[in-house]
Amino acid sequence: MPTLVIRQFFRHIGPEQKRVRAMGSMVPFAKMNGLGNDIVVIDMRGRSDAVTSEAAIALAGGDRTGFDQIMAIHDISLDGVDYRIDILNRDGSRSQACGNGTRCVVQALASETGRKSFTFKTLAGILNAEEHEDGLISVDMGVPEFRWDRIPLAEEFYDTTRIELQIGPIDAPVLHSPSAMSIGNPHAIFWVKEDVWSYDLERFGPLLENHPIFPERANISIARVTSDKTLDLRTWERGVGLTRACGSAACAAGVCAARTDRTGREVTVNVPGGPLLIEWRADNHVIMTGPAEWEFSGTVDPLSGDWQAAVEVDA
C-alpha cells in the first residue's frame, strides 16, 4: 500500500546535532486522530521557538489540516522527563492537557524509537503514557481536582458534585446542576436521562463555555449513564467546539460518575468517535486507554502555518 516518505518523521537528535534549526524553517508534522479527535503532532525538537497562535489558526482553517489540538514536541532538560508538549487549540489558545493528543504523540514516538513508555511535561504537570501490545495506549492523566478555586470557579461551592448552573426556564430547565472538576482542564458535566444527541449542544455549548462562573472558560459535556460500567458523552470543547472525542472530558465524566455513585471507578465512556476506558485508581490517578491513528505526514512552518504534504510512494 502507499506510504509517505516521511511517515517516520520523528528523528533522533544526537549530541552532534545540538545546533538549533533556523527559525522559520519547515519542520515535520503528522496529522493523526484519537477516536476522531483531530490532532496535528509537530516535531519542534532541536528548536528554541514555539508554534505560534497564528500558525495554529492558519492550520485549523485547512481542509486537510483542520484539527482540534496541536501537540508540539519540544526538548527538555529535566530528570525523568523525555519531552515537553506544548498544546494549542484550533483558536490559537493554549491547553493544559489533551489525552487523545498524548496518545497520538506516544504512537508517533514509539514508531520512531521502538520504546513503549514515555514521560511528558505539560502545563497540567507530568504525564506518563505507554503503548500496549494490542496497540492501545494508556495515559496517566494525573489526579482530579474538585476544589472550587482550583477548577477554577468564580464562586465558592462547598460541593462541586452539583453546582448552580442551568439552561432554560428556572422552573423547567433543559439542563441543570452539573458536576464540576478539573483534570488539567476545567470541566462541567450535565447528567441527563435522554439520549445525549437530543440536546442542542452546538447552540448552548459556547454560552456555557464562556459563562462568568468559569473564569478560564470550561469544557461542557452532556453525559448519560447506561449501566454501572458505561456512559455516553458529548462534549463542547473549550477553544475547539463540538468534538468527536475529548479525552480529558471522558476522564472527568468517568470520575464524576463514580464520585456521584452513578458508576464504579472503571467505566467505558462512549464518545461520538468510539469508546475510551477510564479507570479512577485507588491512588487517585486517572488512567485513560484508547487508540491513536496516523493519517498523513508533511512539513509546516511553525511561525506562519504554511505547510505541504509528503510525497506518496509505493512501499
Report the alpha-carbon distance of residue 247 to residue 239 in Å, rounded: 15
Reply yes or no on whether 251 is catalytic: no
Residues comprising the chain, all counted: 315
Helices 247-259 and 99-113 cross at an angle (nearest 10°) of 120
Residue in 104, 246, 251, 256 annotated catalytic: 246
| CB contact at 8 A, 139 and 247 | yes
Catalytic residue among 98, 104, 251, 256: 98
CA pair distance 29, 52, nearest whole angstrom: 15
Which own/partner pairs from 146-154 qualify as long-range (CB within 8 Å, at least 24 positions apart)? 146/180, 146/181, 146/259, 148/180, 150/182, 151/180, 151/181, 151/182, 151/186, 152/182, 152/186, 152/214, 152/215, 152/216, 153/180, 153/213, 153/214, 153/215, 154/212, 154/213, 154/214, 154/215
Q: Can you say whether residue 184 is alpha, beta or left, with left for phi > 0 and alpha for psi between -120 and 50 degrees?
A: left
User: Taking the mean position of all CA atoms in its chain, how far away is CA 112?
Assistant: 22
Opening angle at CA 100, ends 94 and 101, nearest 5: 50
- Gap between the Cα atoms of 71 and 86, Å rounded: 6
Peptide linkage before 152 cis (omega within 30 of 0): yes
Residue where the block lists cell 479512577 = 280
Radius of gyration of the chain (CA): 20
Task: For residue 98, indicate whether it is catalytic.
Answer: yes
Q: How far is CA 254 from CA 120, 232, 267, in A?
A: 23, 10, 6
* Positions marked catalytic: 98, 246
